[in-house]
Structure 1
């Protein structure tokens, strides 16, 4: 294995904190990585990695060498990319994590067109709403809805989703149609949504003019999954709020009824998050561009 490849092996081990995860990510035998690091340390005359039973961390010399490796490899990748990209077809594997509902309704149905355009790209799609550590888990990008907290990742807005407040036809028949926000406190209940990350329930939100008003309602059921949230609403267990694209067919059939259209929920931003890097791989760049193109008209 040449020196450049040894540097790539070393940086991936540091980033993932594990020989095994790095071997899986690089599609190399673990023994090859162990042999490579031993030869690298012998050539440099320095101990680069500190191994424990649970993780692998760089030594002080390893941290210094890692910084040099990252800069040198980024420069090399940038130079090579300038020459390659005009002539080559994007190829390789992309690991992406997408909420299951978004994957099923927006991403997967459009994949045949994506693969027709980029036949040499492979997608490894995870479906979750949880926090994903892109470095530790080797994920290239995630698609997430909602407002973003502080993050070291780059966020690219790809859509703004209209939301509406709904209840099932059976619920409306039993509890009536609320005409004002105050009426929500008079015999109505909600399906509570709890964040998969914090487990805290979130109130219903409504726009009143230019102001945002939160309404906390009683509830008999709390969920943290999108499918369960919709199923509970359809079962008549309470009022809920969804992106319009998600429940369009149910609205058209009359299974769900829109409530309080004069006080709509705030729009829901949809962002692609990825690591900040000097030279983004071509395969990832075209995938993110395709996502933006695919989702720009989704409401």
Structure 2
């Protein structure tokens, strides 16, 4: 294995704190990951990790070497990017993260078209509704809804996405359809919650004449998968909060109807976040520009909701 490959394995072992986790990330066995670390230690003449049967911790030398190894790989990435820029044939792998809703409806179906234009760029798409950590998951970029406060990343704003509360018409057969947040609370409606560690959607912030107002909602049905909530809503099990692009087809067909239209939720920012160094990588720039244009067009082409009576 090359010295560069050993460095990449070392960095992932250091960041993930486990040979087996780093092996899975690198698509190698834990034994191979351990062997690569051993080669590095032999080359450097120092121990990089203190190992026991149950734990692995970097030594002081390992922590120092980690910072240097990062700079080495960043320099290699920039050099390869410069060569690719000159040759006009960008190549390599891109690791991209996104929530399930964005990934399935706005990104995944457009990746083959990007691949047709740039056949030597491989795209590894990872979808999850849990909070994405670019560093831990070794991603080149991630598409997100909402503003991140981490100043270590650059943010490419794509669009402000309207959101709404909605439910199936059948849910209102034997109950009133609320038009305001106050009615939502007073009528004791069933709310379908998108909840995972760190999620805050159990507090819905709605626009009112008095300004933003927070409504604490509770439910016996919640999931960390947004598509599960949509299925429950379509089955008439309650009211959910969604970006319009995720449910546009159901609003157009009348299978879902808007709720609390006098107090709608605030729009949320759709953006792409990425480390500063990725600006120097032509394949990253190409993918971001391609997706920004494609997503904007997809949002512009969303069908209009059906006209329904309250």
For residues 68-120 of structure 1, give each alpha carbon's deviation from its aligned partner in whole angstroms, at most 9, with x where no partner exists: 33334433443443233221422222232322222221112222321122212
Aligned to 1:142: 142
Is 2:96–2:124's contact at 8 Å kept on the other side of the alignment? Answer: yes
Q: Aligned pair 1:264/2:264, yes or no?
A: yes
**CA spacing shift, 1:32–1:182, aligned 2, 3 Å:** closer
- Matches of 2:72 and 2:113, distance apart in 1: 37
For residues 173-216 of structure 1, give each alpha carbon's deviation from its aligned partner in whole angstroms, at most 9, with x where no partner exists: 42233344433234340323142123666133321247211223
For residues 129-172 of structure 1, give each alpha carbon's deviation from its aligned partner in whole angstroms, at most 9, with x where no partner exists: 11344344333333222343546444333232111222221223
Q: Aligned pair 1:82/2:82, yes or no?
A: yes
Aligned to 1:187: 187
- Matches of 1:148 and 1:250, distance apart in 2: 30
For residues 232-275 of structure 1, give each alpha carbon's deviation from its aligned partner in whole angstroms, at most 9, with x where no partner exists: 22222322222112222222222222233332210022233334
What SS does the aligned partner of 1:137 have? coil
Unaligned runs of 5+ in 2: 301-310
Is 1:74–1:278's contact at 8 Å kept on the other side of the alignment? Answer: no
TM-score (normalised: structure 1):
0.82
Is 1:156–1:271's contact at 8 Å kept on the other side of the alignment? Answer: yes
Aligned to 1:118: 118
Return 119-128 or 18-27, whichever deviates more. 18-27
TM-score (normalised: structure 2):
0.79
Aligned to 1:274: 274
Give how far 1:39 is off: 4.6
For residues 8-35 of structure 1, give each alpha carbon's deviation from its aligned partner in whole angstroms, at most 9, with x where no partner exists: 5544443343444545555667666555
- Matches of 1:52 and 1:282, distance apart in 2: 42
Is 2:167–2:238's contact at 8 Å kept on the other side of the alignment? Answer: yes
**CA spacing shift, 1:260–1:52, aligned 2, 3 Å:** same
Question: Superposition RMSD on alpha carbons, in Å?
Answer: 3.2
**CA spacing shift, 1:259–1:20, aligned 2, 3 Å:** closer
- Matches of 1:132 and 1:228, distance apart in 2: 20
Q: Write the mapping of 1:190-229 to structure 2, written as runs, cut at 5 A.
A: 190-198=190-198, 202-209=202-209, 211-217=211-217, 219-229=219-229
What SS does the aligned partner of 2:89 have? coil
Aligned to 1:237: 237
What SS does the aligned partner of 1:156 have? strand
Is 2:130–2:224's contact at 8 Å kept on the other side of the alignment? Answer: no
**CA spacing shift, 1:60–1:214, aligned 2, 3 Å:** same
**CA spacing shift, 1:122–1:4, aligned 2, 3 Å:** closer
Q: Write the mapping of 1:58-97 to structure 2, written as runs, cut at 5 A.
A: 58-97=58-97
What SS does the aligned partner of 2:206 have? strand
- Matches of 1:285 and 1:128, distance apart in 2: 23
- Matches of 2:127 and 2:81, distance apart in 1: 31
Is 1:16–1:135's contact at 8 Å kept on the other side of the alignment? Answer: no
- Matches of 1:274 and 1:226, distance apart in 2: 24
**CA spacing shift, 1:164–1:279, aligned 2, 3 Å:** closer
- Matches of 1:225 and 1:27, distance apart in 2: 26
What SS does the aligned partner of 2:86 have? coil
- Matches of 2:155 and 2:263, distance apart in 1: 29
What SS does the aligned partner of 1:85 have? helix
Unaligned runs of 5+ in 1: none
